[in-house]
């Protein structure tokens, strides 16, 4: 695995968002945890919305925000998975 892993949610022709695959595992876990909890809370709020009181674009805005939170978190989880399968322990 290369040192810097590109995050797929880049909306530019050249990747600009990368994760350091050699960062401490605890930092990668915290990075992931913050994003997963934020996405969870946002989607919980979405589930409580009254569909009749929303604008047509609201669902698209929530979906994009969830994707932008979850994609880097999933990339960090992939790095953690690869490193744990290689025998590295979370410290």
| In-domain check, residue 5 | no
Name the domain count of the chain: 1
Can you tell me which residue has the tokens 């880097």? Answer: 72
| In-domain check, residue 17 | no
| In-domain check, residue 36 | yes
Q: What angle do CA 15, 82, 36 make, to 5 degrees?
A: 65
* Torsions phi, psi for 32 (to 5 deg): -70, -45
pTM of the model: 0.85
Domain range for residue 67? 25-91
Q: What is the pLDDT of residue 10?
A: 65
Q: Report how far residue 74's alpha carbon sits from residue 35's, in angstroms, rounded to the nearest whole number.
A: 9
Q: What is the pLDDT of residue 26?
A: 96
Q: What is the pLDDT of residue 54?
A: 82
Q: What is the pLDDT along the chain (91 residues), one digit of tens a residue?
A: 899 999 987 678 888 899 999 999 999 999 999 999 999 999 999 888 887 888 878 888 999 999 999 999 999 999 999 999 999 887 7
Residue 28: name the closest of 68, 69, 65, 80 by CA. 80
| In-domain check, residue 80 | yes
| In-domain check, residue 53 | yes
Q: What is the pLDDT of residue 27?
A: 97
């Amino acid at each position: 695995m290369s040192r810097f892993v590109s995050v797929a949610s880049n909306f530019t022709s050249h990747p600009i968002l990368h994760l350091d695959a050699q960062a401490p595992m605890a930092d990668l876990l915290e990075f992931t945890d913050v994003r997963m909890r934020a996405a969870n809370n946002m989607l919980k709020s979405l589930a409580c919305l009254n569909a009749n009181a929303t604008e047509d674009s609201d669902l698209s805005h929530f979906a994009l925000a969830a994707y932008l939170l979850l994609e880097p978190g999933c990339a960090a989880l992939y790095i953690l998975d690869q490193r744990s399968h290689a025998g590295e322990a979370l410290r």
